[in-house]
Homo-oligomer: A and B are copies of this chain.
Amino acid sequence: MSSYDLKQEVTDKYSLRGRVFSKIREDILSGKYKDHEELKEVAIGEELGVSRTPVREAFRQLELEGLIQIVPNKGAYVTGITAKDVEDIYMIRSLLEGLCARWATEHITQEQLEELEENVYLADFHAAKGHLDQMAELDNHFHHILYEACNSKQLARLLIDFHEYVLRVRKKTLSNGGRGKISNDEHRQIMEAIKEKDGERAETLAHEHIINAYNNMVKNGLYQIYPMEDADSREP
């Protein structure tokens, strides 16, 4: 087992303590709060049934994630997530997932490797059956195994953040035109490269896997769920 409990870090975000944070985060990512909208502490607090204190704490975290911008003594404004953000994140992720796969090749345990194999075979089954929810979950799990196996707290933290960031986009991607099956085939190739201790190939495959996912998304026009407008076009 690695030196830190990755699962703990992840689940914490969904437990009681991070409830307010996660809710606001989702509301921004889902588009409930529009770009440049001002978020009032009391209003959101009342909506969630809490006082300003936890809301403020969540705001600070959200600012660090780049989802809102806090200007002192004025307010918190939604930064939103544009199509360019999604593109940038996919490009960044493609590099980092490659690095992750390479490092995972060097550090993966037998147990983790078997988990990967199981994941791929199970996903094959669900892909054939068209079980989209299970596919999304398995895809999520596949990558998280690698995040753990890469043995880098720093890299894992980054990838988990980005992974969540584009979660909604990704889920829709998998449900489109057989990408789920193809995606899992790519997973299998990555898994086999790691199994054969070919770090170079694992890196390349993981890199291309993310690029393919992005291209598929663009091809299907799914990037349109977020407007491509730029922050320049705001009112003065």
A interface residues with partner B (beta carbon < 8 Å) = 3-4, 9, 12, 15-17, 53, 56-58, 60-61, 63-66, 69-70, 72, 84-85, 88-89, 91-92, 95-96, 99, 152-155, 157-158, 230-232
User: What separation, in Å, do the CA atoms of A84 and B150 have in the docked complex?
Assistant: 13
User: What separation, in Å, do the CA atoms of A96 and B232 have in the docked complex?
Assistant: 25
Which 4 pairs of residues, A with B, have the shortest CB-CB distance? Answer: A88-B154, A3-B231, A3-B230, A17-B72
Q: Is the CB of B89 within 8 A of A99?
A: no
Q: Is the CB of A154 within 8 A of B70?
A: no
User: What separation, in Å, do the CA atoms of A37 and B58 have in the docked complex?
Assistant: 24
Q: Is the CB of A92 within 8 A of B231?
A: no
User: What separation, in Å, do the CA atoms of A89 and B92 have in the docked complex?
Assistant: 14
Q: Is the CB of B231 within 8 A of A154?
A: no
Give min CB distance, A21 to chain B, whole Å: 8
Among A58, A152, A157, the most chain B Cβ lie within 10 Å of the Cβ of A152
Q: A95-B95, A230-B3, A232-B3 are in contact. Are A89 and B154 (CB under 8 A)?
A: yes
Q: Is the CB of B92 within 8 A of A154?
A: yes
Contacts of A70 in B (CB 8 A): 17
Within 8 Å by CB of A57, from B60, B89, B232, lies B60
Give min CB distance, A86 to chain B, whole Å: 9
When C-beta atoms are compared, the residue in chain B nearest to A230 turns out to be B3
Contacts of A3 in B (CB 8 A): 230-232
User: What separation, in Å, do the CA atoms of A88 and B150 have in the docked complex?
Assistant: 11
Contacts of A89 in B (CB 8 A): 154
Within 8 Å by CB of A61, from B9, B60, B154, lies B60
Within 8 Å by CB of A66, from B63, B65, B72, B154, lies B154
